[in-house]
Structure 1
């Protein structure tokens, strides 16, 4: 990855790390699936009329929307709603790092180097140390829902990479078409019409600010940059940067919500950073050995329009 892409990846990690606290703050009193539908309505309007359609087929657009947006955030919002803390959610969701690299190796034949594998292993060990540092007080339902969110995100990562989706912002906006209607229907099913009406009545200024952040920064800026990075670089070089998200998430949860991290969490966070550095160093060595031009765009795979 180029230096510019490394800085962009770090920015994405910062925005997404803070996102967990912002979601938890804004969702109070609003059903999670309704809150998700409103978030992605804000992503679509007015961006859908300003951003051109991505140069990939509808199958790719719908698949990215179904997995990276609808699946990931429906499970995540439900996990937070049943009691999983924002700091811990930011950690558990990073299981997508391991899942993405495994899926990319099997589906895209992007075999990680030895150094990258070691880096991911160190990062995974850091995740385990942080999880154990919580003292075992974890709601199992919330944990399971968050792991499903991680799997959905990993599938979306591989779909975006396999399509060579260089138009990160356009793919983010147009794939958001998948989210609002299914999320609203699921909210009506889970919460009932009365619950949805009550949730709309509870939508105050806190929920409004949270929606603006999650739609404008986390979705449009964050996923626009992230999908663009996946379109220019192998998944094994981009995804390890997201191991920094739980470090930001736990730090902001500590400062803003009083979730004081334990020594195990702090030590695990350090391991995460080390894992990122080792994995990225291994990827850079492979690129140099092959004499590749790291700033050049990859071949664009265009799926048939349907």
Structure 2
């Protein structure tokens, strides 16, 4: 991965890491499925009025909406509302990197190199240390919901790579438009008609998750997936819990132990090793 693309991937991880603190704030004011539905409604409108067609068959838009829009965020937000704390959620969700690699290898026949296996092993070793230090403090059902969200995201990554949309931002606008109706209907069915009194804090949370995290974040994510193998891009999301726990410490006062710092170092080292080519390969590529 080129240095500027690597910096873009790391910056995206920072945006998504802080997103967990923002979502936790938003869930104080909205039921989870309604929160997700409003999020995607805001991401789709009025942008939908100014963008053209997605440039890919509608089935791919529906596939990404079902997996990432409804599946990932539906499971994720319900899990957080059921008791998963922001820091632990940011950790569990990053098992999507493992799901992405597994789906990419089995469905797209991508090659899994020894370097990627070793890098992922080191990074997941860091995640294991974070889990050991943080502890599974939430209910088992909430933990399972977040794991299901990770699997849905991993499958969505593969669907999006297969779709290869020419314009990631336009594609994400349409994905948001396809995601909002089922989420709002599910909210009405499962959560009922809410009695809302959302504050400025709640609406600012929605602005961040709709425009910065969803449109901006997934626009960048799709752009990277179009240029690199899914199994190359996905490991960078392992940096998300590093930024997630750091932002939680700054915003909510959660302590960061030496074990967490060691885990963060392992995650960064593993991600960089898995996502970059050896010098000999780079030299050979430049000599062509």
With normalisation by structure 2, the TM-score equals 0.94
Residues 157-211 of structure 1 deviation map (CA, whole Å, 9 limit, x = unaligned): 0011112223211111101122222111211222222xx2x1xx22221111001
Shift of 1:126: 1.1
Shift of 1:292: 10
How many residues align? The count is 288
Equivalent pair of 1:113/1:282 in contact (CA under 8 Å): no
User: Which runs of structure 1 show a deviation greater than 4 angstroms over 4 or more consecutive aligned residues?
Assistant: 283-293
Tell whether 2:49 aligns with 1:54.
no
Instruction: Measure, in 1, the Cα distance between the counterparts of 2:287 and 2:55.
Output: 25
| Partner SS state of residue 134, structure 2 | coil
Q: Please identify, of 146-155 and 47-56, the stretch whose mean Cα deviation from structure 2 is larger.
A: 47-56
Gaps of 5+ in 1: 294-306
Instruction: Measure, in 2, the Cα distance between the counterparts of 1:212 and 1:284.
Output: 42
5 Å matches for 1:157-236?
A: 157-193=157-193, 196=194, 198=195, 201-236=196-231
Query: What residue in structure 2 maps to residue 134 of structure 1?
Result: 134
Equivalent pair of 2:29/2:202 in contact (CA under 8 Å): no
Query: What residue in structure 1 maps to residue 241 of structure 2?
Result: 246
Tell whether 2:267 aligns with 1:272.
yes
Equivalent pair of 2:84/2:137 in contact (CA under 8 Å): no
Residues 237-276 of structure 1 deviation map (CA, whole Å, 9 limit, x = unaligned): 2111111111000000111112213333222222111111
Tell whether 2:28 aligns with 1:28.
yes
Query: What residue in structure 2 maps to residue 93 of structure 1?
Result: 93
Query: What residue in structure 2 maps to residue 121 of structure 1?
Result: 121
Equivalent pair of 2:238/2:271 in contact (CA under 8 Å): yes
RMSD between aligned residues? 1.8
Instruction: Measure, in 2, the Cα distance between the counterparts of 1:213 and 1:52.
Output: 24
With normalisation by structure 1, the TM-score equals 0.89
Equivalent pair of 1:79/1:142 in contact (CA under 8 Å): yes
Gaps of 5+ in 2: none
Equivalent pair of 1:166/1:227 in contact (CA under 8 Å): no
Shift of 1:77: 0.5
